[in-house]
Structure 1
Amino acid sequence: MSYIETYYRRALGPDAVQRPALEGAVKVDVCVVGGGLAGLTAALELARKGRKVCVLEANRVAWGASGRNGGFVSPGWAARYKNIQRMAGMDQAKELHRLSIEGADVVRQNVQALAAEAKPTPGILGAVRYEATDGLKAHRDWLQKEFNYNVEFKSRDEVQQLLVSPRYYQALLDPNAFHFNPLIYARALAAEIERLGGHIYEGSAVVAIGLGGTSKIAKTAHGSVAAEHIVIASGGYTGNLVPQLKHSYLPIATYVMLTKPNRDLIASAIRTEAAIGDDRRAGDYYRLVDGGERILWGGKITTKTTEPRLLGRLLHKTMVSTYPQLKDLDVEIVWSGLMSYARHMMPQIGRLQPGVWYCTAFGGHGLNTTAIGGRVIAEAILGESDRYKLFAPFGLAWNGWIAGRAAAQLTYWAYQAADLFRERKSA
């Protein structure tokens, strides 16, 4: 299966040759189901320690959300810190935030070693659309005190010099965060796994799975894998292989558009190479690409895959409401991807039974969290640590089926209303 048309697909060039499908019987130490960033990171960490690994991917490496996202890498989780602290306690919440920082470092180190062509650009600007000077300064000070992590406060005047928009007030600039091409990065991880002796099979959907014996079995249409350990890391495209996982996450569609080129017009609005996001649950995230020739703009979520072109018009409307001067900047392509969200908004990372691991539900903050998720699962399999247990408070909560999807959509609309109310108070 080919990659869908996205900005990232265009940058692949001739090395996008599809890997072969699994044929025949294979025996390995660890079988990873899902060739997204979580599965690839787990496989790479294991391969680096000499374990014999294989990855089974139904489509292509990073075919889903792992290769279609905004490309933002920064600490944090999709869940708000206060909610993490409420569920896990103060000390564990701090440890989890440290893990999120480590996850961003894992990606940075892998990019430097393996994927310079992913073109990482430093800086993510977290802008707000309401008066928040005191709150942002307090958050800056808290990050420095608790985690020795430094971000920079930007006043409204400073923000206006970078973002020529009536919408924004203040911001925090994270100079340690960065943005890049996630599909090129994922393919670089895959190539390194293979260099270390691992195997990756594309077009190899797992159609049956046997978890009862000492040796776990994953079957595809034309082959099978026997392994001591199996890791389920299939994200928003997880099927019914493991019902406990299927019933514990919600597949949520997100949307991204790429504008047509117009360097001068774009420069009238956005005057920073840093990526930009805001703190709204119903927020936007965007960045300049191609040296400022285009904007890659993401936002909007739905609980069903809506026709991307319809969402493209809404994304364009949002862009123009933020930057009225960009009203004549047309959209070139729009795409979507399925993320997996648990109801508690934290990743689902853990052991289902001896030899069976899961590493999924990274929607909303996936690039650093997939990295640390893959690492802690690999550490557990290797017997190096039990850090995966930090995620125990965030279990496989029932997703609510159809009612859960409806609740997720209603919650999103409620966040939109709350965001709008807060912004109007500052207007």
Structure 2
Amino acid sequence: MSYPQTYYKDTIADPKVRPVLSGTTECDTVIVGGGLAGLTTALQLARAGQSVIVLEAESVGFGASGRNGGFVSPGFAAGGDNIARMAGPDAARQIHRLSIEGVDFVRDTIDALKIDSAKMQPGITGVLRYDDGDSLKAHAEAMRENYGYELEYRDTEQVRSVLKSSRYFQGLRDPNAFHIHPLNYLRGVAAEIERLGGRIYEGSAATDAALHGAEKTIGTAGGRLKARHVVFTTGGYTGTLNGRLKRSFLPIATYVMLSEEAPDLIRTAIATTDAIGDNRRAGDYYRLVEGGKRVLWGGRITTRAASPVALAAELRREMTGTYPQLKDLKTELAWSGLMSYARHLMPQIGEMQPGVWHCTAFGGHGLNTTAIGGKLVAEGILGQSDRYKLFRPFGLVWAGSYAGLAVAQLTYWKLQAQDWWRERAA
């Protein structure tokens, strides 16, 4: 299997290797990209009786979809105020409800397909690194009033009783959110697509495309596919096949590391099964795995991936800066993955021309938003709804290429500095 060396690869439940495309085949819809967005779209189309083929250049979940922190919670990278400014208050509320629906979709899919290997664990807590409980109480009240969505407030004493760090103050616990093994979830979805008659070809990168006219054609090194609809869901690993799509977002690297097995030491710092995220712009996120035996810790973003040794050192500094008692906890493994960020920080979901769809740029919030994105694209293809049009304000705008990457990196450093000053003042 062509997966990078990650914790998820090492604990994969289904080692099945799928075939490479050969020859010429016809179907209703071709999906280019076997990550979270592509497989969700394929699942919904297959459930509706369409003939579906997924092309994956490597293996199912090879990219960020199978390498991420495993957090499933509502929301978008852009934030509610920015979404309201771009799309209007009413649309912003509808869009946020979609993100909640995405969380429910992932949970329901795990339950319906009995994907026990996804190891679903309820609870995600967001914590502040400065003292401002009033802002969290106000946010919890707004979520309750606007969406009927309950968040549980935690004061500083409650937070520090389970997260034994002086860096943390108040927090909000989301009991509806959860965390999972994302690669096993994806492979469980892939198995269901195939059970329903869909086909998935691995090691089958799309190399050329003819997208005008009623019949679309996608070519690979060994075969060709003809279909009425094509869906591009390639995220941070998008190549030059669709230039308009590639120009519309930036590939941004994020990092994850896995600790050695040391449950007694870990308990001196982290005494909760919740996944944890802090409030910095590109903050830390982490959770215990294997029943508390190890810590999976993620964070940092850069415009190009660093070496595993360098990224492990960066993440260790973050971890021990938060939990000095974990200074002797060794790192066993570290890896990176490429996310896709649009300039407006929102997913790009829609139909770029008749019969040609896109579902990408989830910007670090992919496990719930790819689910709803794939569902909306499938509804659009099937003529069931036009809910995908809610994302029209967030189009395929040019992301700035190399200049955009430079600006993104400088912006990140600026935000880091602002976080540092804010925490220092606390």
Summarize the alignment of residues 397-408 of structure 1 with structure 2, pairs less than 5 Å apart.
397-408=397-408
| Structure 2 spans left out of the alignment, 5+ residues | none
Q: 1:104-123 CA deviation, whole Å, 9 max, x = no partner?
A: 01000011122122110000
1:92 aligns with 2:91: yes
Please, what TM-score do these two structures have when normalized by structure 2? 0.99
CA RMSD, Structure 1 to Structure 2 (Å): 0.7
> Residue in 1 aligned with 2:100?
101
Q: Tell me the SS of whatever aligns to 1:372.
A: helix
> Residue in 1 aligned with 2:20?
21
> Residue in 2 aligned with 1:290?
290
Q: 1:246-294 CA deviation, whole Å, 9 max, x = no partner?
A: 1011000110000001111100000000000012112000000011110
In structure 1, distance between residues paired with 2:358 and 2:128: 35
Q: Tell me the SS of whatever aligns to 1:291.
A: coil
In structure 1, distance between residues paired with 2:40 and 2:309: 33
| Partner amino acid, structure 1, of 2:193 | I
In structure 2, distance between residues paired with 1:352 and 1:97: 23
After TM superposition, the structure 1 stretch with the greater mean CA deviation from structure 2, 410-419 or 181-190, is 410-419
Q: Tell me the SS of whatever aligns to 1:292.
A: coil
1:44 aligns with 2:40: no
| Partner amino acid, structure 1, of 2:28 | D
Number of equivalenced pairs: 425
Indicate if the aligned counterparts of 1:348 and 1:394 stay in contact, CA closer than 8 A: yes
Summarize the alignment of residues 403-414 of structure 1 with structure 2, pairs less than 5 Å apart.
403-414=403-414
> Residue in 2 aligned with 1:58?
57
1:316 aligns with 2:319: no
Q: 1:138-172 CA deviation, whole Å, 9 max, x = no partner?
A: 00000011000001000000001010001000000
1:276 aligns with 2:276: yes
Post-superposition offset of 1:401: 1.0
| Partner amino acid, structure 1, of 2:43 | L
Instruction: State percent identity of aligned pairs.
Output: 60
> Residue in 1 aligned with 2:303?
303
> Residue in 2 aligned with 1:174?
174
In structure 2, distance between residues paired with 1:139 and 1:241: 43
In structure 1, distance between residues paired with 2:351 and 2:374: 13
> Residue in 2 aligned with 1:67?
66
Post-superposition offset of 1:308: 2.0
| Partner amino acid, structure 1, of 2:354 | P
Summarize the alignment of residues 97-246 of structure 1 with structure 2, pairs less than 5 Å apart.
97-114=96-113, 115-246=115-246
> After the TM superposition, which parts of structure 1 deviate over 4 Å for at least 4 consecutive aligned residues?
none
In structure 2, distance between residues paired with 1:62 and 1:382: 25
| Partner amino acid, structure 2, of 1:112 | D
In structure 1, distance between residues paired with 2:374 and 2:78: 19
Q: 1:61-101 CA deviation, whole Å, 9 max, x = no partner?
A: 00000000000000001111111111111001100000000
Summarize the alignment of residues 257-406 of structure 1 with structure 2, pairs less than 5 Å apart.
257-406=257-406
Post-superposition offset of 1:305: 1.4
After TM superposition, the structure 1 stretch with the greater mean CA deviation from structure 2, 3-12 or 39-48, is 3-12
In structure 2, distance between residues paired with 1:67 and 1:401: 26
In structure 1, distance between residues paired with 2:278 and 2:83: 20
Indicate if the aligned counterparts of 1:282 and 1:419 stay in contact, CA closer than 8 A: no
In structure 1, distance between residues paired with 2:76 and 2:396: 17
In structure 2, distance between residues paired with 1:159 and 1:352: 46
In structure 2, distance between residues paired with 1:17 and 1:123: 31
Post-superposition offset of 1:205: 0.1
> Residue in 2 aligned with 1:4?
4
| Partner amino acid, structure 2, of 1:339 | M
1:32 aligns with 2:31: yes
Q: Tell me the SS of whatever aligns to 2:62.
A: coil
In structure 2, distance between residues paired with 1:302 and 1:63: 20
Q: Tell me the SS of whatever aligns to 2:277.
A: strand
Q: 1:29-82 CA deviation, whole Å, 9 max, x = no partner?
A: 000000000000000000000011010000000000000000000000111111
Post-superposition offset of 1:414: 1.1
Indicate if the aligned counterparts of 1:252 and 1:301 stay in contact, CA closer than 8 A: yes
In structure 2, distance between residues paired with 1:180 and 1:375: 20
1:421 aligns with 2:392: no
In structure 1, distance between residues paired with 2:277 and 2:7: 19
In structure 2, distance between residues paired with 1:289 and 1:222: 40
In structure 1, distance between residues paired with 2:389 and 2:85: 17
In structure 2, distance between residues paired with 1:363 and 1:39: 16
Q: Tell me the SS of whatever aligns to 1:280.
A: coil
Q: 1:329-355 CA deviation, whole Å, 9 max, x = no partner?
A: 010000011111101110110111110
In structure 2, distance between residues paired with 1:382 and 1:34: 20
Indicate if the aligned counterparts of 1:75 and 1:100 stay in contact, CA closer than 8 A: yes
In structure 1, distance between residues paired with 2:148 and 2:123: 18
Please, what TM-score do these two structures have when normalized by structure 1? 0.99
Q: Tell me the SS of whatever aligns to 2:172.
A: strand
In structure 2, distance between residues paired with 1:348 and 1:159: 36
| Structure 1 spans left out of the alignment, 5+ residues | none
In structure 2, distance between residues paired with 1:377 and 1:305: 30
In structure 1, distance between residues paired with 2:421 and 2:311: 23
Summarize the alignment of residues 238-257 of structure 1 with structure 2, pairs less than 5 Å apart.
238-257=238-257
In structure 1, distance between residues paired with 2:15 and 2:203: 14
Post-superposition offset of 1:4: 1.1
Q: Tell me the SS of whatever aligns to 1:416.
A: helix
> Residue in 2 aligned with 1:78?
77
